[in-house]
Structure formats: C-alpha cells, structure tokens
Amino acid sequence: MDSRSGGGLVAVLQSMGGRLVFVFVNAFTGMITARALHPAGRGELAALGVWPNFLGGLLTFGLPSAFIFWSRSEPDQRVNFFWASIPITIVTGVIALITGVVGIPYWLGQYSPHIVHVAQFYMLNVFLVLIIANARAACEAEGKFLASSVALCIAPVLTLLGLLVLLFLHRLTPVTAATTYILSGVPACLILITRLRGFVQGRPTAILRATRQLLGYGFRSYGVDICGALSLYADQAVVVHFLDPGAMGIYVVALSLSRVIGVIYQGVATVLFPKVVSLPAKELIALTGRAVRISTVLTVLCGLGVALVGPGLLSLLYGRDYRGATAILDILILEMIVTGATLVLTRPHMALARPGFVTILQSSGLALSLPLLFILVPRWGVLGASYALLAASTLRFVICLVSFRYILRQDMPELRPRRSDFTPLVVRAGARIVQLRKRILATDTLGL
C-alpha cells in the first residue's frame, strides 16, 4: 500500500491472491455440497460447521490483533509474546469447547439427535480454529503474508479433493463432509507452525510482562473480535434456530456467493494494519483513504458482475433447488460492499491503539442487527436476515466516517476515487506485461 515502494502492493497481492484462491475453491466445494446434499443436507452441514468457527472467533480474547500490535511495536520481545500466547490459546479453547457442548442441544432443537451429537463432538475443532488464527497473525506480524495466504488456501483445496473422493465413493453426507472440512485444516496448521521458527529461537525472559501486554491490548480489542464473529456468524446462528434446514441451505449459498467480492477488502485490510502501525496519523489516514478508494472501486465492479449473472449462476452452479436465493443476493452484495469499506476504514483506529472505538463501532451495528434478526427472520425468513445485515452495516459505516473528526481529531479520508490512485497500478501492471513479453520472446529465440 505504500506508494514509495512496491513492497506494500506485493503484500496486498499475496494476501489477496490467497483469499481469491480460498474464495473460489470454497465456491467449488459449495457447489459440490449444494448439489449432492440438496438444501436440507446443506443446512445440516452448515449447522455442524458454524459453531467451532463462531465460538472460536467469539472467544479469542483479542489475541491475534494484540500479537500483531505488540510484535510490530516491540520486535525484540516477539519471543516472549509468542510463548505468552500459548496458554491464553489453550484457555480460550477450553472455554469455547465447554460452551459449545452445553449450548448446542438447546440451539439445534429442530435438528435430529444425530446431528446434535456430532455437532457437539466437532467442537474439538475450535482448538484448530484458534491456533490457525493466532499463527496467521504471527506470520502477518513478521510480514510473511505469502505463508499466511498459502495456509489459508491449502485447507479448502484439500477439502475440495476430499469431497470429490467422497462423491466418487457415494459416501458424501453432511457428517462426512463436515469431517473433511475439519481434517483439511490440520496441514494448514502445520505449515504455519513451521514458518514461526523465529519466534521459538531464544529463551523467553519476560512471559508475565508479555502476557499482561497481550491481554491489556487484547481485552481492549476483544470487542472487535466478538463483534466480528457475531457479524460473520450471528445471522447464521439465528437463521439456523428459526428456519428449517432447507431454508438454511438456501441462505448459506446466497451468503457465500455474495462474500466472493469481499476478498479485495480483506486482502487490503490484512496488509494495511501491520504496515501502518507507528506511522504518523496524517500519513496513516492518507494511506487508508487511498486503500479504501481503490478497494471500493474494484469491489463495486465485481459486485455488479456478480449481480448481473447471479440468477443464472445460482441455478447453473448450485442447481435449481437454490433459485430462491436470487431474491436476497443483491441485498447481500450491497451489504458486503459497505461492510468491507468500513473494515478498511477501521485500520487507523487499530494502528493508533484505539481498538476500543472499533469495539463500540461493531457493537452499534450488532445492537441494531440482532434485534432486527429476531424480529424479521420469523416474519420474512432469509429476506429479513438480509435486510437486518444491510441496516447494521450502513450504521457502522456512517459512525466510522464521523469518528475521524470527533475521535481521532483528523480529517476524514477522501472517498472520491482519483485517477492518481490507479495510475501506479496501471504502470506497474504494464511493466509486468512488458517483462513477461520479453521473457517469452527470449525463450522463443533460444528455442530457435
């Protein structure tokens, strides 16, 4: 993201590339499960998989953000931060596991006892979810965005292969599909751990101090993780409680297709946070403005494309059983555009040690969306859930813009796109094309 060098752009492309692979491979796995399991089976699969991810994100204690912040602020203490994070991860995993095992039978009352029992057993996956989240944060704190992206990609690729094998063997069920999703995360975890050699070289000398620092920042940013998890999964948790498995399957398919366009925002936000820590406020906000302008323009273009081909795409890729998802797809695309822009705009608050405001920001959206979900979903089903998400994302966006003047005491980032924003990207892309052409010509010449 730094205009003075290509490092930031390369990091963004690495992060975005990994997320693109992640999204598109997940789209293929979604197609396989949607067609093979039909809406009811797809809904049962969602019910099995949502809880470890939901509770894992809900009970992070803000550790990933705290690890990035302190590792960038005090790089000489990174060994202490790493070893201090391990017991915190174990404790959070145990809390999440107990919460899930106790709570799942009450929340999945309309599902079969077999699905409920399997969902309880699969809560063990929460440890893997937490380890991967913290290990990716450690890699990103070190600038190893490629390793983080590879780890992000390998799990869905292995999942896709596993689902194809199960489909060929006629053994694809909601339970076997959920098992494949879980086991595919193990190699990703191992890859991340091997990339963290720098954190384990040397003896920790101040673990208690590092623990206090991590928890101090973590608890202030914890609300961000809570609200993020609720924003990602609360709607699914409500829908899975109120609606039958068939309606749940339709909602999950539309939601996953709309989330394809969010990969641009996520890639930019992932790189922006560690890059802008310790920068002066004015420079930080100027960089954020450029990042949000570029990412929004690209995301809107992608969103228009998905909206235009969405109705046909749903029937073609997922089957005619999912044509009902067309009614909510456009709403969810617009919600994703607003949510993604807000995500990028919150990075200055995180970098300036103001995670508490981001917590308040996310809480404001949830304070609106959760009541709306409980009111609208029983009445309007998945359409009500979509409108609730859009209302909450709009509120967060407006509050975030106002916060620059009244919280950070800085001018709001310029949001109108500029030609100068895209000129370096076009020039760099042109240079790459010229280099590639020269290599091809050189290869052809040597061949002759």
Confidence check: pLDDT of 448 > 50 = no
Alpha-carbon distance 31 to 44, whole Å? 15
Averaged pLDDT for residues 314-318: 73
Q: How far apart are the first and last CA of the chain?
A: 42
Tokens at 151, concatenated = 């780890």
Check the CA dihedral 377-383-384-387 and report its sign: positive
Question: Looking at residue 313, what is its pLDDT?
Answer: 72
Residue (of 126, 181, 187, 127) closest to 151 by Cα position = 187
Tens of pLDDT along 66-88? 877 887 777 777 788 888 888 88
Least confident among 30-34, 276-280, 375-379: 276-280
Alpha-carbon distance 74 to 81, whole Å? 10
Confidence check: pLDDT of 11 > 60 = no
Q: By the 8 A CB rule, do 242 and 378 touch?
A: yes
Alpha-carbon distance 340 to 295, whole Å? 9
Question: Looking at residue 202, what is its pLDDT?
Answer: 65
Task: List all residues 6 or more positions away from 190 whose beta carbon is below 8 Å from its beta carbon.
Answer: none
46: left (phi over 0), alpha (psi -120 to 50) or beta: alpha
| Rounded-to-5 percentages of helix, strand, coil across the chain | 85, 0, 15
Q: By the 8 A CB rule, do 352 and 273 touch?
A: no
Residue type, 193: I
Averaged pLDDT for residues 53-75: 79
Place 98 in a pLDDT band, splitting at 50, 70 and 90: very high
Percent of the chain whose pLDDT exceeds 90: 8
Tens of pLDDT along 271-307? 666 666 667 778 888 888 888 888 888 889 888 888 8
Alpha-carbon distance 46 to 51, whole Å? 9
Confidence check: pLDDT of 165 > 90 = yes
Q: Which helix (H) or strand (E) holds 363?
A: helix 355-380
Confidence check: pLDDT of 59 > 50 = yes
Which residue do the tokens 């994070």 mark? Answer: 85
Place 179 in a pLDDT band, splitting at 50, 70 and 90: very high
Question: Looking at residue 7, what is its pLDDT?
Answer: 47
Alpha-carbon distance 269 to 342, whole Å? 10
Confidence check: pLDDT of 17 > 90 = no
Place 437 in a pLDDT band, splitting at 50, 70 and 90: low
Confidence check: pLDDT of 230 > 60 = yes
The mean pLDDT value of the chain amounts to 78
Question: Looking at residue 64, what is its pLDDT?
Answer: 81
Confidence check: pLDDT of 308 > 80 = yes
Task: Name the more confident of 171 and 12.
Answer: 171
The Cα angle at residue 263 between residues 7 and 304, in degrees rounded to 5: 120
Alpha-carbon distance 422 to 135, whole Å? 33
Q: By the 8 A CB rule, do 42 and 33 touch?
A: yes
Q: By the 8 A CB rule, do 188 and 154 touch?
A: yes
Percent of the chain whose pLDDT exceeds 70: 78
DSSP 302-315: HHHHHHHHHHHHII
Alpha-carbon distance 191 to 437, whole Å? 34
Place 252 in a pLDDT band, splitting at 50, 70 and 90: confident
